[in-house]
Structures are given as structure tokens and as C-alpha cells.
Amino acid sequence: MKYFDTHCHLDFQQFEIDRDYVIKRAKQENVEYILNVGTGIESSRKVIEISEKYDFIYASCGIHPLDVSDYKIEDLKEIEKLVRNKKVIAIGETGLDYYYSKENKEKQKDFFIAQVEIAGKYNLPLIIHQRESKNDLIEIIERIKLPEKIVFHCFGGDIELAQYCKEKNFYISFTGILTFKNAKNVKEVVKIYPIEKIMVETDAPFLTPHPFRGKRNEPFMVKYIIQEIKNLKNMEKVDDIIFNNSLKFFNLGGDG
């Protein structure tokens, strides 16, 4: 079995003490690829730095909606410089988050639109973060030119949004939330969503899957999310399909 953790944050403080060990353990547990996702300019620099130390780790650069208050829109020129690095294979994470921050909605929208444009300019996949901002996000998506490949990361179980993503042919990615007993809505989304458009991620160090809840999340735990999808889909070769989906989405190979 081979796994691809398509979204984690190994640059975060939680991994400062034992980052190399965490990465080694992931490789030992058949994690063939890791995408380390930036959340700001310094974070994006650091994910590139980590990716350059390991051939199976790649980077995504972007400014997270909850971090836009720290930047000016002109600062995205630095993100655009960083994406020219050969280890950068995506833009993001970007998007809208009204759960934690409602006072800067317009600034979040401006940063999101600008990063969509960067993804299109460099023909890179776009990683979207969405929390309690579905209507505004859809309104923007409907009126601007999008890059070819889009994934809604950390999909949270909104059936209506899942149907919209399905119509738009977007990918969606599931986290350890899927393994939680009370995650009924997200489990229903897995059942209805096309397997060819599903990816998995840890979002480490957050959202640790069962049976490790309460501990720090790590890339090796991505297999527990795959297992839950297998159970819900009642399908064979789910791990192979999802691994191939991820390679294809991030232009690292894969069938089709």
C-alpha cells in the first residue's frame, strides 16, 4: 500500500523538536509523497526549505485567509516568486474563513482572488480552505476564471457544497474528521462523492484521526482515513485509486 498525504503543516512549531523523525516514520509507514502547505510568506519559504531536504516532500505556497491581516496585497508578489521553485506544485492554502474572522471579509476575498490568478498564471492546482463562507466562495468562483484543478481541502460534511463541487468536477479531500463517531454528514459525503475525485490528508498537526485522538497528528496516520473511506464505500482498491488521484491532481504522474 502507498499513501499520499496531500496536506500537512510540517513547518509548524509542533514539529520543531522531532521533524526529521516524523518524516522518517511517515516514509517507513509507506507514505510515498507529502505535500507541505504554506499559510503565509515565511511559512511558504519554510515548506520549500523542508521539501528541498527530502525528495518525496513537495511544497504549496499561499496566504491562509486567517493570516491575511498580517499582509498587504502587494506581498503576494513574494508568493509569486516562491512558486517558481521546482518543488512547489500547488497554490494555497487560500480561501475564506468566517468562523474565526468575519471583520476582514473583503480582504480575504481580495487575497483569494489574487491567489486564484497566480494559480492560473502558473498552471498550478489550487487548494481551497472554506469555513462558514460557502455562499461568498461560490459567488466568487462563479464569476472569475479558475485554474484547471481545484481541491476543497479538509472537507467538512456540507452535502450542499459537496453537490456543488461534484457538479463543478472539483476534487475534495478528507481528514481525520472522517473517523470521528459524530461525523455523520462528512461520512455521507464520502458515500455520494465520486471516488475518482477524492483525496486524503492529515492536516497535521491538527485533526488527529481515531484511534490517536488527543495526540499530535502526523503524516503516517493518513492510512486511517483511507481505511474509513474503504469501509464507507465498501470498495476494493480504494487506496490505489486515491493514491493515483493525488498523483494526477498534483501533476506527479498517475493514470489518465
Query: Per-residue pLDDT tens for 18-28?
Result: 999 999 999 99
The parts of the chain modelled with pLDDT lower than 70 are: 254-256
- pLDDT (0 to 100) of residue 256: 41
- pLDDT (0 to 100) of residue 243: 98
Give me the chain's average pLDDT, please.
96
- pLDDT (0 to 100) of residue 255: 55
Query: Per-residue pLDDT tens for 100-125?
Result: 888 899 999 999 999 999 999 999 99
Which residues lie closer than 8 Å to 20 by C-beta, 6 or more apart?
Answer: none
- pLDDT (0 to 100) of residue 189: 97
Closest alpha carbon to 205 in 52, 5, 3, 9: 9
- pLDDT (0 to 100) of residue 254: 58
The fold of the 3-249 domain, in CATH, is: TIM Barrel (3.20.20)
Domain boundaries, the chain: 3-249
